[in-house]
Amino acid sequence: MSTGEVEGAMQTPDGQWRVEIVRRRRTRWYRIVHGEDVLDWLSIAAVERILDEAGVDRRLLIEVGPAA
């Protein structure tokens, strides 16, 4: 994973999909964690597309702590 501070996160109720907001200096990006797979340096549009293609209902994401 790229280094950076996780500022916030949301995940599915079952914890299978997690979206993190990451910051390093002035740069912010998104990271998806799904099992052992990590997709890093994503835009919000890419996060939405990936979750939609996987059949994840984004309305069900719940806010969790950065280290959950």
Backbone angles phi, psi at 7, to 5 degrees: -90, -25
Determine the structural domain holding residue 41 and report its residue range: 5-58
pLDDT truncated to tens, each residue of the chain (68 aa)? 567 899 999 999 999 999 999 999 999 999 999 999 999 999 999 999 999 999 999 999 999 987 65
Instruction: State the pTM of this model.
Output: 0.89
| Residue 46 belongs to some domain of the structure | yes
| Residue 51 belongs to some domain of the structure | yes
| Residue 68 belongs to some domain of the structure | no
| Residue 35 belongs to some domain of the structure | yes
Tokens representing residue 58 in the block: 């984004």
Alpha-carbon torsion 41, 43, 36, 50, what sign? negative
